[in-house]
Amino acid sequence: MEDGQAGANGIDLRGARYFPGFLDRPAQEALVAAVRGVVAAAPLFRPETRRGKQMSVRMTSAGAVGWVSDRRGYRYEPRHPSGVAWPAIPTEALAVWEAVAGVERAPDTCLVNYYDAEAKMGLHQDRDEASFDWPVVSISLGDDALFRIGGRERGGRTESRWLASGDVVALGGAARLAHHGIDRVRPGSSSLLPKGGRINLTLRVAGVSP
């Protein structure tokens, strides 16, 4: 497979599978409309780290449980911080999972992160789930973001790739616990979101009873 051709299994990105341009413009617009419905039901909030520092991204979730972070730590909760139930995962997002995850089990949560021009996400592992047997599927919408991925151990070699609107990355198998993050967003690189910025959806199997 030539570089830049995703094929059925995507492009290998340090063990993760990268699908550039997986969603065309109409599909992106439909997914953004669905995300607006999620945000209307469960508004974006700014999580805190265990040390009480606010993260630069704003977030919400959909599904049986949603991810939250505060001084009590990182965890999944059955309700939004306001007390309302999380809305259902959009069918448009579930269709992406079904196409690339390679597993029969459906996700039970979908994190929605909004990055403005100044937001970023440090290198981290997704390890708050009950089992690491299931992949994490990431969907990019809006402005380009510089994605960085390394290995399971912190401090090793990393690789960076600009993710554009409509790109999908699946972290499973050996890459399930790879350290990864977003170094920066490229403002104005997409016209998908009228006010700019980037939406990132991550579909997961939390495996935590609501």
Inside any domain, residue 2: no
* Lowest-confidence region among 40-44, 53-57, 164-168: 53-57
Inside any domain, residue 55: yes
Q: How confident is the model at residue 4 (pLDDT cuts 50, 70, 90)?
A: very low
E strand map for the chain: 11-13, 16-19, 58-63, 66-70, 73-77, 109-115, 121-124, 136-142, 144-149, 159-163, 168-171, 180-186, 198-204
d(CA 108, CA 90): 11
pLDDT of residue 8: 67
Task: Decide: helix, strand or coil at residue 1.
Answer: coil
Inside any domain, residue 91: yes
Inside any domain, residue 3: no
d(CA 172, CA 155): 20
d(CA 4, CA 121): 25
pLDDT of residue 149: 97
Inside any domain, residue 127: yes
Domain count, the chain: 1
Torsion sign, CA atoms 99, 100, 102, 108: negative
Q: How confident is the model at residue 9 (pLDDT cuts 50, 70, 90)?
A: confident
Q: Percent of the chain beyond pLDDT 70?
A: 96
| pLDDT over 90 at 210, yes or no | no
- The residue among 82, 39, 67 whose CA lies nearest residue 206 is 67
Burial pattern 156-168, b for ≥16 Cβ within 10 A else e, equals eebeebebbbbbb
The encoded tokens of residue 159 equal 């690789």
pLDDT of residue 104: 94
Inside any domain, residue 150: yes
Inside any domain, residue 93: yes
| pLDDT over 50 at 101, yes or no | yes
The tens digit of pLDDT for each residue in 109-130 reads 999 999 999 999 999 999 999 9
- Tokens 């599927």 correspond to 137
The tens digit of pLDDT for each residue in 139-186 reads 999 999 999 999 999 888 999 999 999 999 999 999 999 999 999 999
Q: How confident is the model at residue 6 (pLDDT cuts 50, 70, 90)?
A: low
User: Does pTM surpass 0.85?
Assistant: yes
CB of 117 within 8 A of CB of 189? no
The one-letter code for the residue type at 149 is I
pLDDT of residue 18: 98
Inside any domain, residue 51: yes
Domain range for residue 80? 11-204
CATH code for the domain of 62: 2.60.120.590
